[in-house]
Every structure is written in structure tokens, then in C-alpha cells.
Amino acid sequence: MADTQNMNSRRDALKTMFRGAGLLGLGGAAWGSAAIRLKASELTLRPPAAIKEELFVKACIRCGTCVEACPYDTLQLATLDDHTAMGTPFFKPRLIPCYMCTDVPCVPVCPSGALDLKNIAKQIDGVQTEKPDINKAKMGVAMLDQEACLAYWGIQCDACYRACPLLGEAITLEFKRNERTGKHAFLKPVVHRDVCTGCGLCEHACVTEKAAIFVLPRTVATGRVGAHYIKGWDEADEERLKNMKEAQTKKSSPEDELNDWEYLLDDE
């Protein structure tokens, strides 16, 4: 009787052990699946001087050194709830923007090269130095929802303009007569994406319930014209067209053209 009870106890213990192992395996599989899905997000804003996103998530070793170096607690490490690569640094400008530290302390401490000082290196007389220039950062670009922007309603608001660290450069105000009242003027903010660093100070300062101006990664916010369109007024672009034509000419030979004609004659 005692032996039977011992056998049953051992059997129950084994069942419990295997059940736990199964649950652990399922948990691990779920965690691994989530980690795979969250390798990278197109909407994630990275610290200054970050390399391209697809390379960044591979180079970043999730050490958190850049997060610790940030004096404003701007940067945070991603969790499963953040819908981006686990353990990588990012920031949400609506909560805490990048305050554009001139010494950019988060960059030089990066041990893996995921944050590369060369991307924001200061240039003196055309020569690249080892000193950082935060104004060269391209963390993202500010986008404006004109339908939600109070300034486009005719209500005087220049919160984003005043908050911008590159005052009068990254965001300018466009003055336009308000035909509705006939007495007032619109002061419409306009973002200049070639200057905008994506710091998010404008988004942080926006007075609307949900920010009418917000920062997106450049790969998401910007379009691409394509190499086959040429700016006729731009000498550099005209030269690019000339080089394209020369390269195309070199690829094709008189023999190739002859073969093309022979192909047409054969069809006849």
C-alpha cells in the first residue's frame, strides 16, 4: 500500500514537473516570438548620431550606457510594451524631448558604434573634426497637422516656433492675411526638414491635447523622388544626368545595337 502511494506521489510529481517545463517552453517560445516581431519599428526615434535603423538594432548591445549618460532622462530602454527592439534606447518627445546638449554625452559613451560620432561631427573649413555638433543630428523630422494647429485656425500661437532650439531656421512663421476677419493675420508655422534635427521640443511644447506637430523618423516622414527625375535648374543634378547617360552608353555597344536590328529583321 505504501509502495503504491509512493508511486502515485512520484507520478504526480513528474506530471507537475513536465507541466511546468511545458509552460516554461511555451512562455519561452512566446517571448522569442515577440522578440522576433519587435526587432525594429519604423516609428522609433533613436538618440543623436544613431546609424541606420536596420544596422542600429544589430549593433546596439542593449547596455543602457547612453540612457545613463543623458542628463534629462530623455532616453529609455525599450520593453515589450514599447513595440520596438527590446532593450534598445529610444525617446518619446511628447513626454521628454531631446534637449540638444552641446557636448552630446549619450554618443561618445556608446561602446558598440550604434551611435557614431561621425554622423554629427563638426566641420571647420570643410574638415571634419572629432567634436560633436548637435545641430547636425537627424533623429527625425517634425510634421505638422494643419487641421489641428491653432495657428492655422487664426488663433495666435507660436509655441512650437518659440520652443525650437534653431529659432527661425528649423521652424519659421508664414504671415498671411486672415480673409475671414479682414483684420488679423495668420502666423503659420512652417517646418524646414533640411534643418530640423527631430529633437521634439516643438512637439513637447504644443498646447493642443494631442500634439498638432509631431516628430517622425525621416525614413517614414520623407518621400523619395527617384533618380530618373532631374532638376533642370541645378547644375549638380544636370551633371548627374550627364554621368548617367555616359554610363548607359558604355554599357551598350554597336554590336548590341546590331543584334537588336537583326532581331527585328528576323521577325519580318
Report how far Cα 126 is from the mean position of its chain's Cα atoms: 27
pLDDT at 167 over 90: yes
For residue 36, give the 3-state DSSP assignment. helix
Distance, CA of 50 to CA of 48 (rounded, Å): 6
| Total domains in the fold of the chain | 2
Q: Does 145 share its domain with 194?
A: yes
Q: Does 150 share its domain with 116?
A: no
Q: Are 78 and 34 in contact (CB under 8 A)?
A: no
pLDDT at 20 over 70: no
Asked if residue 40 is part of any domain, the answer here is no
**Could you tell me the CATH number of the domain that includes residue 82?**
3.30.70
Per DSSP, the chain holds a count of helices (H) and strands (E) of 9, 8
Q: Does 128 share its domain with 149?
A: no
The reported pLDDT for the residue numbered 3 is: 54
Task: Write the DSSP string, 205-238.
Answer: H--SSS-SEEEE-HHHH-----TT---TT-HHHH
Cell of residue 87, nine digits: 532593450
Asked if residue 195 is part of any domain, the answer here is yes
Q: How far is CA 173 from CA 188, 192, 230, in A?
A: 5, 11, 30
Task: From 109, 135, 161, give the residue that closes a domain.
Answer: 135
Confidence of residue 32 (pLDDT cuts 50, 70, 90): very low
Report how far Cα 146 is from the mean position of its chain's Cα atoms: 22
Q: How far is CA 190 from CA 170, 184, 219, 222, in A?
A: 8, 19, 20, 15
127 is in which domain, residue-wise? 53-135
Confidence of residue 57 (pLDDT cuts 50, 70, 90): very high
pLDDT at 239 over 70: yes
Where helices occur in the chain by DSSP H, the ranges are 2-37, 53-59, 65-69, 150-153, 159-163, 201-205, 218-221, 235-251, 254-267
Asked if residue 244 is part of any domain, the answer here is no
Q: Which 8-state DSSP code applies to residue 191? A: E
Confidence of residue 230 (pLDDT cuts 50, 70, 90): confident
Asked if residue 18 is part of any domain, the answer here is no
pTM beyond 0.85: the answer is no
**Could you tell me the CATH number of the domain that includes residue 204?**
3.30.70.20
Q: Does 65 share its domain with 129?
A: yes
Q: Does 163 share its domain with 90?
A: no
Q: How far is CA 188 from CA 158, 170, 171, 221, 226, in A?
A: 8, 14, 10, 20, 30
Cell of residue 177, nine digits: 492675411
Q: Does 145 share its domain with 202?
A: yes
Cell of residue 3, nine digits: 509502495
The reported pLDDT for the residue numbered 192 is: 97
Mean per-residue pLDDT over the chain, rounded: 82
Report how far Cα 249 is from the mean position of its chain's Cα atoms: 38
Calculate ∠ Cα 110-115-117, nearest 5°.
Answer: 100
The reported pLDDT for the residue numbered 92 is: 97
